[in-house]
């Protein structure tokens, strides 16, 4: 386990986060339990904001990517740090508004937004809508006309760069449900079309090349390609993009296979990107565009851990040892979906030596309900507290009530204080929307 300022081993040999003993948290709140470190969230938000302020003259805005983790408290934190957010559904938009988040600092994403979602976005005055299809552009134009406004929009384009984790490739592939490709001319065509729509105000372009990226050059290559496209559009259509949204995708540490990045590293990622944009703007004699970035995982991912209590242990000699926990794919489906890897620790005895490799199994009625496979652990027994690290992004977001299990409670820790930010569900919550037709008696 790599330690950071607020994730450490305390004097009792227990895992501590935000000044709180994880064993005490498990006793107080029960398990499974999502735990979020407020200081880490704020530190990462400030890192990105300060980098734009220092290296780009403040000519930009950090947008927290809501899909990583959405709840009222996270929007309050984002707003207090002076950053914006992006949303991808009416539900995320509603949650942000319930937290009092300013509409002008919200950008609305999605490849198939409903008419109702687009209407609410225009009605509420969001800062921008990222257009992803001709249909959406035309519907949005009609809604804006009916409301008597000009809606600010960006176009999502594909620069032909794909990046994931430690590698990136340059490609002309256009096979994506998102955006319009530069290489096949569709990005240019949709730009031409939107410029004819009187109720849409085209501000610029958006791109996002992947997620969990550590290869810095991939961001630079994407920025270069988009800036070249902006210059081409200016030359042919006499339209110069005022805004460039370069997306997110910065990687985080899940296991020892991943590098350990500090705020300095993330600042360097963004600075390289900024330098590339400045260089291309100079080359093409373009004004520096207003810069939007969309970090999500890198803000909340390592800020979160999940606590579990060990239940049954099944040792199949010579084959595998299963350690069952009181959670599972209902509150962390990421292994079941795409075999995500995690670091797992024995929170109630962090100094114990790892002597075995085990598979962490959930309690769902599915043989594929696993959290981690072949992870090193000390000897464990029923009642021990396990912590799975770096679960702040996408775990709660993807959680469900599968098998009618509860979505766990989430708490925020800071300076030894723990506060609930998402309440524990009850059985009444599970049946709240169930309806029995009268004919069934």
pTM attached to this predicted model: 0.95
Give the position of tokens 């950071």: 4
> Which among 159, 158, 140 has a CA at the least distance from the CA of 149?
140
N-term to C-term CA, the chain: 56
Going by DSSP bridges, is the β-strand pair 304-316/385-389 parallel, antiparallel, or unpaired? antiparallel
Mean pLDDT of 306-330: 96
Query: Is the model's pLDDT at 168 over the cut of 70?
Result: no
Asked whether residue 308 carries a pLDDT value surpassing 80, the answer given is yes
pLDDT digits (tens, 9 = 90+) for 353-406: 999 999 999 999 999 999 999 999 999 999 999 999 999 999 999 999 999 999
Q: What is the pLDDT of residues 89-131, one digit of tens each?
A: 999 999 999 999 999 999 999 999 999 999 999 999 999 999 9
Mean pLDDT, to the nearest integer, of 174-180? Answer: 77
* Sign of the alpha-carbon torsion through 375, 378, 381, 383: negative
pLDDT of residue 171: 43
Q: What is the pLDDT of residues 247-292, one digit of tens each?
A: 999 999 999 999 999 999 999 999 999 999 999 999 999 999 999 9
Q: Which residue has the tokens 């098998």?
A: 403
CA distance 248 to 208: 6
Share of the chain above pLDDT 90, in %: 90
**Structure tokens belonging to residue 127:** 């800062």
Q: Mean pLDDT lowest for which of 155-164, 241-250, 317-326?
A: 155-164
Confidence of residue 241 (pLDDT cuts 50, 70, 90): very high
CATH code linked to domain 38-298: 3.20.20.10
- Average pLDDT of the chain to the nearest whole number: 95
256 neighbors 1 (Cβ within 8 angstroms):
no
Architecture of the 7-30+303-430 domain: Beta Barrel (2.40)
Of 167 and 157, more confident: 157
How far is it, in rounded angstroms, from Cα 416 to Cα 402? 33
Domain boundaries, the chain: 7-30+303-430, 38-298
SS3 for 89? coil
Could you tell me how far CA 110 lies from the centroid of its own chain?
14
Please confirm, yes or no, whether 71 is among the known catalytic residues.
no
Give 200's contacts (C-beta < 8 A, 6+ positions apart).
131, 137, 140, 141, 144, 150, 151, 153, 194
Q: What's the rounded mean pLDDT across residues 171-199?
A: 86
Residue 6 confidence (pLDDT): 81
Backbone phi, then psi, for 355, in 5-degree steps? Answer: -120, 0
Dihedral class, residue 374 (left if φ above 0, else alpha if ψ from -120 to 50, else beta): left
Q: Average of pLDDT values for 216-221?
A: 88
Q: Fold match between 7-30+303-430 and 38-298? A: no
Position 409 confidence tier, pLDDT thresholds 50, 70, 90: very high
Q: What is the DSSP string of 393-435?
A: SSHHHH---GGGPPPPEEEEEETTEEEEEEPPP-HHHHHTT--
Residue 173 has pLDDT above 60, yes or no: no
335 with 343: CB under 8 angstroms?
no
Which residue is catalytic, options 71, 354, 364, 365?
A: 365
Quote the CA–CA distance of 85 and 53 in Å, as a whole number.
17
pLDDT reported for residue 174: 63
**Percent share of the chain, pLDDT over 70:** 97
Judge whether 287 and 58 are in contact, CB under 8 Å: no
- pLDDT tens per residue, range 23-57: 999 999 999 999 999 999 999 999 999 999 999 99
Q: Which of 3-7, 220-224, 306-310, 436-440 has the lowest mean pLDDT?
A: 3-7
């Amino acid at each position: 386990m790599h330690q950071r300022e607020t994730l450490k081993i305390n004097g009792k040999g227990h895992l501590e986060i935000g000044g709180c003993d994880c064993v005490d948290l498990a006793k107080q709140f029960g398990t499974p339990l999502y735990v979020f470190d407020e200081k880490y969230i704020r530190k990462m938000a400030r890192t990105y904001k300060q980098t734009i302020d220092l290296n780009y003259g403040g000519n930009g805005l950090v947008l927290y990517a809501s899909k990583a983790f959405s709840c009222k408290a996270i929007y309050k934190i984002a707003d207090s740090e002076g950053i914006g957010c992006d949303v991808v559904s009416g539900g995320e938009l509603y949650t942000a508004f319930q937290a009092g988040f300013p509409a002008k600092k919200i950008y609305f994403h999605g490849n198939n937004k409903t008419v109702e979602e687009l209407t609410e976005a225009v009605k509420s005055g969001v800062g921008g809508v990222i257009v992803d299809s001709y249909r959406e552009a035309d519907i949005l134009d009609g809604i804006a006309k009916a409301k008597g406004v000009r809606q600010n929009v960006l176009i999502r384009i594909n620069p032909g760069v794909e990046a994931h984790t430690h590698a990136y490739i340059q490609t002309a592939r256009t096979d994506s449900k998102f955006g319009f490709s530069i290489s096949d001319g569709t990005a240019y065509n949709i730009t031409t079309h939107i410029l004819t729509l009187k109720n849409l105000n085209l501000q610029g372009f958006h791109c996002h090349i992947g997620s969990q990226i550590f290869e810095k050059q991939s961001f630079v290559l994407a920025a270069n390609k988009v800036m070249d496209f902006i210059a081409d559009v200016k030359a042919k259509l006499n339209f110069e993009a005022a805004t460039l949204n370069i997306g997110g995708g910065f990687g985080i540490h899940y296991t020892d296979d991943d590098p350990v990045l500090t705020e300095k590293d993330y600042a360097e990622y963004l600075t390289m990107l900024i330098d590339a944009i400045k260089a291309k703007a100079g080359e093409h004699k373009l004004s520096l565009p207003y810069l939007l970035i969309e970090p999500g995982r890198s803000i909340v991912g390592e800020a979160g851990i999940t606590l579990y209590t060990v239940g049954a242990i099944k040792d199949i000699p010579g084959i595998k040892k299963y350690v069952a926990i009181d959670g599972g794919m209902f509150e962390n489906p990421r292994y079941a979906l795409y075999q995500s890897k995690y670091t797992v620790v024995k929170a109630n005895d962090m100094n114990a030596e790892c002597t075995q490799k085990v598979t962490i199994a959930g309690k769902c009625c599915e043989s594929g309900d696993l959290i981690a496979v072949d992870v090193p652990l000390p000897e464990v027994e029923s009642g021990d507290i396990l912590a799975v690290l770096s679960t702040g992004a996408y775990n709660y977001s993807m959680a469900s009530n599968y098998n009618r299990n509860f979505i766990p409670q989430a708490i925020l820790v800071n300076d030894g204080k723990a506060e609930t930010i998402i309440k524990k569900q009850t059985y009444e919550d599970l049946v709240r929307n169930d309806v029995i037709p009268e004919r069934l008696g």
